[in-house]
Structure 1
Amino acid sequence: MPDGSAKFINLDMEEYKDLDLTIAVFTSILDRPEFKTLEAGIVLQAYLPDALGAMIRLQEWAAKRVADGGAPIKVRVVKGANLPMETVDAESHGWPLATWSTKQQSDASYKAVLEYALRPEHIGNLRIGVAGHNLFDIALAWLLASQRGVTEGVEFEMLLGMASAQAQVVKRTVGSLLLYTPVVHPDEFDVAIAYLIRRLEEGASQENFMSAVFDLDADPKLFEREKERFLASVRSMPTEVPGTNRVQDRTAPIEPGPTDGFLNAPDTDPSLAANRAWGDAIRARMKESELGNATVAANTLSTPEQVDAAISTAVAAGEAWRALGAEGRAAILHKAGDVLEARRAELLEVMGSEAGKVIEQGDPEVSEAIDFAHYYAESAKKLAHVDGATMQPVGLTVVTPPWNFPVAIPAGSTLSALATGSPVIIK
């Protein structure tokens, strides 16, 4: 640094979707020769089932780095502070929740990560930052480190201004304490306020140790509650490396969508390596793709006579389509939804090639088109049972969609009309 003082860089990982990316960036940068002797840190969130596996990956990488003459690293272990965001992210995309489902599981995971990291054979490769205010967890980490003779490799960390009296006791016991606080430019102080509110929300939760920290010595019931929570999490520590909650694989055969009720189609989860490889292959094909050109050429209408013929064909086909009845049409629309899902990659390729849609924008649009197919299939069945009403679809529907949503809007317009029994010409 210009002033000659040493600075320590700690790479945080706020969201599950960034776990692999954060580790990849961290290790690839430190693998560069000029950073061989640089000691840097990374953060792991224990409320992810993936945390122990990630710690093992980092430890094994750090062991090779140290054996090659490089500096050790630091891993800061936190329980995780973004559960509401992870919940919203999972629900909005139709994915399983990335975190553990209970606080006890998260606490058990935290202890399992610490137990693995604080082994004598590991501590020379990485230092551990034990971050948190739970005095039971802090005591456990300190006892483990002391009994295993690795206290030089552990550092305790707490938030500045939270439970200051307890922080002083911890400091006297372990010898030193690292205090964290947000530092922001005055023009961006709203960021610090958001951080403070998140901390207050955590502390107010009855599941959180901080809700009892000021009354532990005066209220035996609170102490027993926290002691039992601690012991329960110790008893439920995983004995094997947990698997991830997210297992979606776009290269695997698709499962048919529901035909009795509606369920949103999940978007593609980019946090998974198999899906990223699937997306990379699609992106590579976009530039030179000719997919769909033959279909367009074969269905291009160049003369008024061809337009008239198409209209006549559609109107005539409408009679047979209406004769299928609501249940028959619904069955076909459900199959259409499955076909759209099976051809997700092709749709993304064409959207990228013809409309410039990146996968991040195009993939939810394909999911929406699939949803339209299944939703309107179920809606068709309901229309047949409206008391006192008789469905009379229009003789022909013409769909002329905009260019900027090339899949979702034409799919929705077409499928809704088909659900009612109307034939469709789509431009």
Structure 2
Amino acid sequence: MTAGERERRTLAYGREIFARVDRHGPPAFTAAWVDDRLMNWTMSDESLKVQLFRFVDALPRLTDPAAIAQHLREYLGQAENAVPWWIRAGVNLLPARGLGGRMLAWAARTNAEHLARRFIAGSNVPEVLESIRQQRQRKLSFTVDLLGEATITEAEADGVQRQYIDLLNGLRLINDWPEVPLIDRDHQGPMPRVNVSVKLSALFSQFDPIDPEGTTRIVCQRLRPILRLARQTGAIVNFDMEQYSFKDTTLHIFRTILSEPEFRDWPHAGIAVQAYLKDTEHDLEQLLAWVKERGSPVWIRLVKGAYWDYETVIAAQNDWPVPVWMKKHESDECFERCTRFLMENYRHLRPAFGSHNVRSISAALSLAEEYSVPPEAYEFQMLYGMGDEFKDVLVNMNRRVRIYTPYGRLLPGMAYLVRRLLENTSNESFLRASSGGDTTEEKLLMNPSAVNHSPKNGQHAPTPSFRNEPLSDFSREETRRKMSAALDRVRHFFGRTYPLIINDRPVMMTHFIDSVNPSNTKQIVGRCSKATPKQAVEAIQAAKAAFDTWRDVSPEERAGYLRKMARVMRDRRFELSAWMVLEAGKPWREADADVAEAIDFCEYYAAEMIRLAKPHDRNVPGEDNHYFYEPRGVAVVISPWNFPLAILCGMTAAAVVTGNTVIMKPAEQTPVIASKLMEVIQQAGLPRGVVNYLPGVGEEVGPTLVNHPDVAVIAFTGSLNVGLSINHSASATPTNVQHHVKRVIAEMGGKNAFIVDADADLDEAVKAAVDSAFGYAGQKCSAGSRAIVLEPVYEVFVNRLIEAAKSLTVAAADSPGASLGPVIDEEARQRILSMIEAGKKEATLAYAGELGDLKEQGSFIAPHVFTDVSPNSMLGQEEIFGPVLAVIRAKDLDEALQIANGTKYALTGGFFSRSPNNIERVKRQFRVGNLYINRKITGALVDRQPFGGFKLSGIGSKAGGPDYLLQFVLPRVITENTMRRGFAPTTE
């Protein structure tokens, strides 16, 4: 066909479908009619729709009538402009207790289950079988999708595998039912009747594209019995496609397992591909090449995609390229191009078109005609409970239609339900447009390549002048390859010696600090010269000598040096990350984030210095008033080992850009990374003496650095005891030799808590708890060490938390699949173990992980979870700085807040809840420096979440915030009388 002929045939098919559609709808006042009216009402206002869907999503966790009434009031209250007055009045009268409350709870759950049954085929296999029987009576086929909670434990992954096996065994009865030729035969003869869709991420709790080989190995172990049973019983298995970051790993698993001898000749497997992704056409070409090599066809389910909002948000948050087409018509165009490709290659890639869009369906019919594809060789797939009138039309046109049929427990399946409701009621939805009555058929059938949509979907806030450095996307093979290569290169430099750098000159000492790889303590990462008090004084003298010149360098030029440092670190990004993996024991993502934060500090503080340097003048006739900042003098930067690049770089960059000179004293455990930062500074070309590198033992050189009268600023991050000692020592002011009061900036840790509300999404809460408590082995000052859980969900939360902790992979940090690496050194390990032993005397050790051979290899500690913890115990009050989580029970939110605020620290905190009122209350009453709602409590980003606390968590302002640089400067005002003999020059 020519393009014009193809378009005419497409439009002809589309008009035929619309002409065949039954437009009468359900009879008035029937249950279906009422459902449609309610659906249309909720669609009419975006705020009402969102609030009602939020209520539906939260309902499974609401255990009593009072909670149901409370959430209804809160959610509908947030959409009060869209709700009629009589409903607003009624909401305020909702009963929370007694018979009325119980009736309300029953009605809410009953109505939600009724709504769920519209989109979910059943809660067990017999109900699904009955639904399938009814579908087959309408000549509709099926594929069953298993609903459930997110898989966050290996026990849950085993349970999912059992459910798939039970499902296949239960559905095999269908093979004995009478044949329906339209759906039970294809162009080659009888085809499998049973069709099951599998989500691969549900088969492994640690499914992670950063480790595709490890993920593939575990997923395939659980997948093989499912595929064997499917082959034995005569079933088709489809691999579902999830979020973009999982795509390549999902494709890899699909190709890997179906290339195994056992399954290589099996044609009854398929995979979904998403036309809204820009990669999809390339992926189809690769699949075709693989199938030709394999020698047996596979099914391809072509869909538009269900995660558009998620993908655009994730890309915006990480400043990654957006993987999806930004305009709907672009996705539609891609869908038609992919349809053509599948029709051309239907003998290898068997087509299944998942769409309710009549234009897309008509294009497939036209292309099938063009390429002489037998009608039985392809099929259309639609969602259960949606667009039934279009299903019937295609059946009447003798086309095979398969229904994507979800099953599972109704209320826990609400996440799926909400997504279907949002999809069904979105402004871009074809079903909404076709049933709304205000869109013409010709517009609905318009060729997407002829559509001119100027506004883009998903517009985000304007890009600020400062942008965070994007984290590396380890779902991309190229990124993983670069990281692996950097690790290999860095290992070749193990054991080298590094000098001090004073006044830009190397100083090699006779005594060294041996830096050890905490993942393998037999490996010496490097040997750094160990400074003595003598070298500390020399470094201070060098910095003092450089100060007068550096102070007078313009702010713009100083900012330029920071931007050069940022560029150097970008160029050396994977190398610097590799050093942190091997010297600090940071897993890949943690190390990469450390480098990105260091770059952010340089770029942000450079921009902030330019802002602070802008003149602030308040002039009047005859008088000029000039307000400005000048540096304090010599700054000592004492940094920790847990963020060995980012924090050292951040404090140094802040001091340097404000005109101070610096002595960098890194932690003894990570001096090599600090040496690499000194190399970056030298590559950026900073003048001699502005920054000096002074590794040494804190007890030996610390007093000299802190007490020396020529030091003006001390920036410290570390333990509470050392921070308070520095503050005390620095407060001494011998006026005969020191004519200034030293400024101390100190971040000193926390005992951070997150509260889990009774209505919390436990999928999110447990995952965030594990990430917060055990990420980087709990060695972050922001780490979550206390989980305060409300009574109604305490037992469920604890059980899932323990299983999630069991599922973590403890491994060397350079292993890409490591969930949890080592602690920093043997001293830290022994300290943490002693606190664990003490904790056993005051609480229940509910879980202690096993280490196996790792115990002898490095400084490893497995995750530990304590329950029945008293808020005032050691476990509830003292910072442990390791993978130890204390779980505390609270009877209500009042008690939870009292416990959360009841420590000497105030650094980070978190709250998991779906109650708008409770969230607002916690924002007011949970007194910490950084509070996170419904997300993990670690991972602050420069400018987005300036970091720092109060009480005994810190002295000073937040790092990465708009007032951080003010701590390194002194404000001055110069006033000049410009009047002479009664004459003042003009101010213009």
Range into which the TM-score falls when normalised by the shorter chain = 0.7 to 0.9
5 Å-filtered alignment, 1:156-235, equals: 156-185=380-409, 189-190=411-412, 192-215=413-436, 219=437, 221-228=439-446, 231-233=447-449
1:58, distance to aligned residue in structure 2 (A): 0.9
Matched, 1:96 2:321: yes
**Contact 1:40-1:73 within 8 A present in 2 as well:** yes
Distance 1:368 1:174 in 2: 59
* Structure 2 equivalent of residue 47 of structure 1: 276
Bigger helix share:
1
Distance 2:265 2:385 in 1: 34
1:331, distance to aligned residue in structure 2 (A): 1.2
Residue type at the aligned position of 1:233: S
* Structure 2 equivalent of residue 14 of structure 1: 242
Distance 2:490 2:366 in 1: 57
Q: 1:353 to 1:205 in 2, by over 3 A?
A: same
Distance 2:271 2:427 in 1: 29
**Contact 1:142-1:174 within 8 A present in 2 as well:** no
1:113, distance to aligned residue in structure 2 (A): 0.2
Distance 2:562 2:449 in 1: 48
**Contact 2:301-2:351 within 8 A present in 1 as well:** yes
For structure 2, which runs of at least 5 residues remain unmatched after alignment? 1-164, 170-231, 453-463, 501-506, 509-527, 617-625, 666-988
1:220, distance to aligned residue in structure 2 (A): 7.0
Bigger mean CA offset, 126-135 vs 270-279: 270-279
1:32, distance to aligned residue in structure 2 (A): 0.9
Matched, 1:408 2:646: yes
**Contact 2:376-2:399 within 8 A present in 1 as well:** no
- 3-state DSSP class of the match of 1:152? helix
Bigger mean CA offset, 98-107 vs 395-404: 395-404
* Structure 1 equivalent of residue 470 of structure 2: 266
Residue type at the aligned position of 1:384: A
* Structure 2 equivalent of residue 141 of structure 1: 364
* Structure 2 equivalent of residue 252 of structure 1: none
5 Å-filtered alignment, 1:26-425, equals: 26-38=254-266, 39-66=268-295, 71-119=296-344, 122-147=345-370, 148-185=372-409, 189-190=411-412, 192-215=413-436, 219=437, 221-228=439-446, 231-233=447-449, 261-285=465-489, 289-290=493-494, 293-295=497-499, 298=508, 300-387=529-616, 388-425=626-663
Distance 2:496 2:578 in 1: 10
Residue type at the aligned position of 1:193: M
Bigger mean CA offset, 141-150 vs 45-54: 141-150
Residue type at the aligned position of 1:226: L
1:45, distance to aligned residue in structure 2 (A): 0.5
1:291, distance to aligned residue in structure 2 (A): 8.1
Bigger mean CA offset, 344-353 vs 135-144: 135-144
Q: CA offsets, 1:53-110, max 9 Å, x none?
A: 11111112112222xxxx3101110111111211122122221211112111110000
- 3-state DSSP class of the match of 1:9? strand
**Contact 2:434-2:444 within 8 A present in 1 as well:** no
1:160, distance to aligned residue in structure 2 (A): 0.3
**Contact 2:578-2:591 within 8 A present in 1 as well:** no
1:174, distance to aligned residue in structure 2 (A): 3.6
Q: 1:27 to 1:234 in 2, by over 3 A?
A: farther
Structure number with bigger Rg:
2
Q: CA offsets, 1:14-73, max 9 Å, x none?
A: 22233322222211211111111222111111011211111111112112222xxxx310
* Structure 2 equivalent of residue 256 of structure 1: none
Distance 2:422 2:263 in 1: 39
Q: 1:173 to 1:266 in 2, by over 3 A?
A: same
**Contact 1:333-1:374 within 8 A present in 2 as well:** yes
Bigger mean CA offset, 267-276 vs 159-168: 267-276
**Contact 1:351-1:406 within 8 A present in 2 as well:** yes
1:422, distance to aligned residue in structure 2 (A): 1.3
Distance 1:200 1:96 in 2: 28
Distance 1:123 1:110 in 2: 16
Distance 1:174 1:395 in 2: 84
Distance 1:156 1:308 in 2: 78
Residue type at the aligned position of 1:385: K
**Contact 1:131-1:158 within 8 A present in 2 as well:** yes
Q: 1:220 to 1:92 in 2, by over 3 A?
A: closer
Q: 1:156 to 1:423 in 2, by over 3 A?
A: same
TM-score by length of 1: 0.84
1:353, distance to aligned residue in structure 2 (A): 0.7
- 3-state DSSP class of the match of 1:391? strand
Distance 1:410 1:176 in 2: 64
* Structure 2 equivalent of residue 249 of structure 1: none
* Structure 1 equivalent of residue 104 of structure 2: none
Distance 1:115 1:48 in 2: 17
* Structure 2 equivalent of residue 25 of structure 1: 253
- 3-state DSSP class of the match of 1:129? strand
1:292, distance to aligned residue in structure 2 (A): 7.6
Q: How many aligned positions are there?
A: 390
Distance 1:404 1:220 in 2: 60
Q: Provide the aligned C-alpha RMSD in A.
A: 2.5
**Contact 2:469-2:599 within 8 A present in 1 as well:** yes
Bigger strand share:
2
Q: CA offsets, 1:139-193, max 9 Å, x none?
A: 221232244133232121111001222222223324432111333356xx54x32
Q: 1:286 to 1:164 in 2, by over 3 A?
A: farther
Distance 2:269 2:557 in 1: 63
For structure 1, which runs of at least 5 residues remain unmatched after alignment? 237-259
Residue type at the aligned position of 1:303: T
TM-score by length of 2: 0.38
Residue type at the aligned position of 1:60: A
Residue type at the aligned position of 1:107: D
1:385, distance to aligned residue in structure 2 (A): 1.6
Percent of residue pairs bearing the same amino acid type: 35
Q: 1:55 to 1:234 in 2, by over 3 A?
A: farther
* Structure 2 equivalent of residue 254 of structure 1: none
1:307, distance to aligned residue in structure 2 (A): 1.2
**Contact 1:73-1:126 within 8 A present in 2 as well:** yes
Distance 1:10 1:184 in 2: 18
